């Protein structure tokens, strides 16, 4: 079973990517949260992988964080939830918020996710409420960080994006402060986010 892939990114889309590993191209289906953090074409990319084995195919699903991969594995174990829907769920809500919503039995929040209705939300809670406690991620409060960027909308946007990817507020703020110290000149949102993620990967 493939659990991790690292190589050169040769194709990139919102649905899937192709990573070249020593001349072999691996296609991985990804959620939007992972897509937004990918490097440019030709650059090195590293993803956690869930290998889904079917009778007629072997499909690889790639994720930026281990938390996303772990939650994906729990989701597809729920009756009526296949890999495609599980990926769509992770595209529609931050993994921290998903863990929090299931743990607190917030069916209203879960049913607001595209593709999830009231009955599906109740089923997610029923089948995952106890299992989700095993995920190391504890979730983050639903609030915008202000400590890093009062008067700096770009910094606040990057903190918010990191929170949406499942990082805790304190982690996001610390990474943004470090990224801002390195990127003293005005930078784009994408460049700022990549720099912050570099610091988080060193933790």
Q: What is the pLDDT of residue 75?
A: 94
Phi, psi (degrees; rounded to nearest 5) at 11: -140, 145
d(CA 124, CA 63): 21
Q: Which residue has the higher pLDDT, 53 or 9?
A: 9
Q: What is the pLDDT of residues 60-77, one digit of tens each?
A: 999 988 889 999 999 999
Give the chain's end-to-end CA distance (angstroms, integer): 27
Tokens of 190: 């994408």
pLDDT band, very low/low/confident/very high, at 5 (cuts 50, 70, 90): very high
Q: Which residue has the higher pLDDT, 158 or 31?
A: 31
Q: Which range scores top for mean pLDDT: 20-24, 125-129, 162-166?
A: 20-24
d(CA 13, CA 21): 18
Residue 187 has pLDDT above 70, yes or no: no
Q: Which residue has the higher pLDDT, 182 or 137?
A: 182
Determine the longest span between alpha carbons in the chain, in angstroms. 55
Q: What is the pLDDT of residue 144?
A: 34
SS3 category, 37: coil
Contact at 8 Å (CB) between 4 and 49? yes
Residue 91 has pLDDT above 50, yes or no: yes
Estimate to the nearest angstrom the gap between the alpha carbon of 88 and the chain centroid.
11
Residue 142 has pLDDT above 60, yes or no: no
Three-class SS of 94-117: CHHHHHHHHHCCCHHHHCCCCCCC
Which structural domains are found in the chain, ordered by start?
4-63 (2.40.50.140), 66-134 (1.10.150.20), 153-201 (1.10.8)
Q: Which residue has the higher pLDDT, 127 or 144?
A: 127
Q: Scan for tokens 């700022």, then name that residue.
A: 192
SS3 category, 137: coil
Tokens of 11: 């194709």
Burial class (CB in 10 A: 0-12, 13-18, 19+), 119: exposed
d(CA 99, CA 107): 12
Residue 137 has pLDDT above 50, yes or no: no
Q: What is the mean pLDDT of residues 38-57?
A: 89
Residue 20 has pLDDT above 60, yes or no: yes
pLDDT over 90 for what percent of the chain?
A: 33
Q: What is the pLDDT of residue 143?
A: 36
Neighbour count for residue 108 (Cβ, 10 Å): 10
Contact at 8 Å (CB) between 8 and 43? yes
């Amino acid at each position: 079973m493939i659990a991790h892939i690292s190589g050169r990114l040769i194709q990139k889309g919102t649905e899937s990517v192709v990573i070249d590993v020593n001349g072999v191209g691996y296609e991985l289906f990804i959620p939007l949260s992972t897509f937004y953090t990918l490097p440019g074409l030709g650059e090195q990319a590293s993803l956690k992988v869930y290998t889904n084995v079917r009778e007629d195919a072997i499909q690889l699903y790639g994720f930026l964080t281990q938390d996303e991969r772990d939650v994906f594995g729990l989701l597809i174990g729920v009756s009526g939830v296949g890999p495609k829907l599980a990926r769509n769920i992770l595209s529609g809500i931050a993994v921290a918020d998903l863990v929090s919503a299931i743990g607190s039995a917030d069916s209203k929040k879960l049913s607001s996710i595209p593709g999830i209705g009231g009955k599906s939300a109740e089923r997610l809670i029923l089948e995952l409420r106890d299992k989700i406690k095993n995920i190391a991620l504890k979730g983050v409060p639903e609030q915008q960080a202000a400590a890093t960027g009062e008067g700096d909308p770009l910094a606040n946007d990057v903190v918010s994006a990191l929170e949406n990817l499942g990082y805790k507020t304190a982690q996001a703020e610390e990474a943004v402060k470090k990224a801002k110290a390195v990127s003293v000149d005005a930078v784009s949102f994408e460049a700022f986010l990549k720099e912050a993620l570099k610091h988080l990967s060193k933790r």
